[in-house]
Amino acid sequence: MPLANDPTTAIRDLTTAIEAELIAVRRDIHAHPELAFEEVRTAGVVARELEKLGIPHRTGIAKTGVVGLIVGGRPGPVLAIRADMDALPIHEQTGLPWASRIDGLMHACGHDLHTTTLLGVAAVLNKLAPQMAGTIKLVFQPAEEAIGGMRIMLEEGLLENPKVDLALGFHNGPDIPAGRFGFTHGPVLAAADKFEVVVHGVSGHAAHPHTSIDPIVGAAHIITQLQTVVSREVNPMHPVVVTVGAIHGGEAVNIIPDTVVFRGTVRSLHAPARDIAEAAIRRLCEGALATLRVRCEVDYTRGVPALVNDDRVLLPAVAAVRSQLGEVIDEAGPVMGAEDLALLFERVPGFQLRIGSGAPGRADKLHNSGYAPDEACIGLGVQALSRAALELLS
């Protein structure tokens, strides 16, 4: 097939030619889901497909990650495009012929779509490489759901040889119909921290509370006070969530226990709000020694930072999607989920494209046992990302 001169037609034709094959690859990956750092078979499929395309690649990065390189015909920047490969511990209920063949595991977050879409982008850009400036680094990442794969890939030198200048990520979204796309300026996903608080009192008989220090009443007060962190301490224009998701203490109705333990998560989109929330949680817990006589040990652990889109990547990428597919992309607000792509975007300017995957007449959601995306999102995602890559490198 001769390549069309204009990029719109060339990318569309190249994608159409491989779309059926991509759907077959996706169904194969979907039927064989693997958990974080166990993506051995999936990484094998990726390596086999890159091999077929003649794209040089390295395997075994962060255990099961794969990184491929497409070098353009002219010098230019290095663009990393990242897909995640891991599945979830969910038992699939779709009943589809290509449903998971492994009990208790399912690609319910659509990372099978992501892996396949990036393979499609690899095939298209590999064909366009002679006319392309710069280099594409194809990043097939393990363990996104465990929020661990990207950190290890970075530690193992993902950004070097060649040095990455900018990055593209993407996630499917069944809340958006297939054929449409979404973008968010600035912070789009939250920083995710966790904390554990041990509230120390003094145990004793429930009938003689004056001889004890009650950690249950102490914990109850502290947990209620933590709700003032969001409402009274952080800027109302900076969203924060403080949720206590677990509390344990006491065994019997007639005993005041020695300790109570509670655990929670803090989500935030802006660094100052994150700092304020952590400081306020520590202060309210530690201050309970003066007010309630309970001594608190606070273990606060910072997780991934917020995922922040950079307009230097976002604006040309959004324009590229419009050039390729028309008026199909809308601005959307951020959400308080988290994703370790944020660690990559912390180091190089990046943009995460949302790819609509909702099928007509369905109301699917991610991490749901019945998730059945519209597979048209694969070819459309390939076109959108391939065009965005070309524009970003030109």
Interacting residues with Zn ion (CB under 5 A): 109
Q: How far is the CB of 313 from Zn ion (least distance, A)?
A: 20
Q: How far apart are CA 339 and CA 200, in angstroms?
A: 34
- Classify residue 250 by its DSSP letter: -
Q: Least distance to Zn ion from the beta carbon of 217, Å?
A: 38
Which residues lie across from 196 on neighbouring strands?
263, 299
Question: Please, what is the minimum distance in Å from the beta carbon of residue 30 to Zn ion?
Answer: 14
By beta-carbon proximity to Zn ion, the closer residue of 109 and 190 is 109
Which amino acid would we find at residue 172?
Answer: N
Q: Is beta strand 259-268 parallel, antiparallel or unpaired with respect to 191-200? A: antiparallel
- Give least dist CB 243 to Zn ion, A: 18
Quote the least distance from Cβ 114 to Zn ion, whole Å. 7
Nearest residue to Zn ion by CB is 109
User: Can you tell me whether residue 26 is helix, strand or coil?
Assistant: helix
Give the shortest CB-88-to-Zn ion separation in angstroms.
7
Q: Which is nearer to Zn ion, 48 or 365 (CB)?
A: 365
Using the minimum distance from each CB to Zn ion, give the nearer residue, 70 or 113.
Answer: 113
**Which DSSP category does 341 fall into?**
H
C-beta of residue 43 within 8 angstroms of C-beta of residue 138: no
Of 82 and 127, which CB lies nearer to Zn ion in the complex structure? 82
Q: Which is nearer to Zn ion, 147 or 261 (CB)?
A: 147
Dump strand ranges (E) for the chain: 57-61, 65-71, 74-84, 133-141, 166-177, 181-183, 186-189, 191-200, 204-205, 240-249, 255-256, 259-268, 295-301, 307-309, 329-331, 350-358
- Pick 88 or 197: Cβ nearer Zn ion: 88
Distant-in-sequence, close-in-space partners of 372: CB < 8 Å, separation ≥ 6: 94, 96, 359, 362, 364
